[in-house]
Amino acid sequence: MIRQEALDDAVAAPSATRTRPRIKSSTVGGYAVLALLLLIYLIPVVFVVFVSLMTSRQFVTGAASLPSPVMWTNYPDAWVKGAFNTYFLNSLVYTFSVVAGTLTLGTLAAFPIARGHVRGSNIFYILFLSGILLPAGIIPQFFILQQFGLYNTKIGYILLWWSRVALPIFVLTGFIKSIPTELDDAAAMDGCPYLRYIFQIIMPLLRPALSVVGLIVAIRVWNDIVGPVIFLPSNSIKPISAGLLQFYAENTADQTLIAAAIVITASPLVLLYIFTQRYIIAGMTSGALKG
């Protein structure tokens, strides 16, 4: 079970006072390995940024040098040519509605399950828990969406994401169990309605958990590529990940514009990562750690 303290521990920086195994003679070797690793991770990033500022001619004849002249215009060119404002807006819509929906559906279901307010709450818990292990049935999903006329629609794609509520319920149930039940009793005495209690008392108390779960879901939605390629074939409703792939398919020869489009797509995530890194890393790996 993931609890508040466990997450706090995971989020907190490793303590400097801990005695760690010492490496003495091999320290130099250690630094060499880390330096090599840094190069392998930084070179692609730096190279793509450089290419995004080159002329196509320079990329073909001398890509191993600094961009000259610096083609800032690649960015507006790629943005306009690829219709990136449509993709960008779509991604914002998908990310916002999936996160808001998942957190609402998740909390509403997790509270009665955690408190045992429904008969067989354990069965519901195990049912949702098993969802984490179920194989993805993309072909039946395609069939069902088509039957309901939701194939190639925004709402169909959002509903698919809402159905992945298993992991959020699992995490939120654990957190709700750590909230004392005395609070529930007091609210019941005051005649506070059930729904209002969940929305006005429980949800604010869950804020740390909700923000980590929301952050992880947001990153997954923003990056999803298989889903949009299958369920959102129309360009006008594609999110930015699929838009980038579409742009690449249509401009294969123009590497500098592709590089600019890559930077455009990646930059919101890089910004988010810079500010919320600890929570993202803890949130993404804690699922594996408690498994």
Partner 1 sequence: MGRTAGIWPYLCIAPALIVFILLEVVPAFATSIFSLTDYTGLPGAPIHWVGIDNYTGLFAGQQTFLLRALGVTAIFSLAVTIFQNGIAVLVAWLLNAKLRGEIAVRSIVFLPVVLGATVNGLTWYVMFNPLGGVVTMTLQQLFGIRTNLLGTPATALYAVIWVQIWANLGFSMMVFLAGMQAIPSDVYEAGKIDGTGPWSAFRFLTIPLLAPSITINVLLAIIGTITGFELILVLTDGGPALASQTLGMWVFNTAFFNGNRLPGFASAIAMVQFAIVFVIAMIMQSYLRRREAVL
Site for partner 1 in 179-208 (CB under 8 A): 184-185, 187-188, 193-195, 197-198
Tokens in use for 93?
């819509």
**8 Å CB contact between 165 and 105:** yes
| Candidate residues 30, 72, 76, 250; the one interacting with partner 1 per rule CB under 8 A | 30
Phi/psi of residue 240, nearest 5 degrees? -70, -35
**Among the candidate windows 68-76, 82-90, 91-99, 283-291, which touches partner 1 by CB under 8 A?**
283-291
- Closest approach of partner 1 to the CB of residue 77, in Å: 17
Q: How far is it, in rounded angstroms, from Cα 81 to Cα 251?
A: 10
Number of residues that bind partner 1 (CB under 8 A): 107
- Closest approach of partner 1 to the CB of residue 213, in Å: 14
Nearer CB in complex with partner 1: 209/262: 262
Site for partner 1 in 67-126 (CB under 8 A): 105-106, 108-109, 111-113, 115-118, 124
Residues 6+ positions from 261 with CB-CB distance below 8 Å: 78, 82, 84, 244, 247, 248
Q: What share of the chain is helix, strand, coil (3-state, %, to 5)?
A: 75, 0, 25
DSSP state of 201: I
111 closest CA partner among 45, 209, 37 = 209
134 closest CA partner among 165, 113, 103 = 165
Site for partner 1 in 130-169 (CB under 8 A): 131, 134-144, 146, 159-160, 162-166, 169
**Among the candidate windows 40-48, 80-88, 91-99, 205-213, which touches partner 1 by CB under 8 A?**
40-48
Site for partner 1 in 215-244 (CB under 8 A): 219, 222-226, 229-230, 241-242, 244
Amino acid at 286: S
| Candidate residues 1, 8, 33, 96; the one interacting with partner 1 per rule CB under 8 A | 33
Residues 6+ positions from 103 with CB-CB distance below 8 Å: 168, 210, 213, 214, 217
- Closest approach of partner 1 to the CB of residue 1, in Å: 16
Site for partner 1 in 47-66 (CB under 8 A): 47-48, 51, 59-64
- Closest approach of partner 1 to the CB of residue 236, in Å: 19
Tokens in use for 192?
């506070």
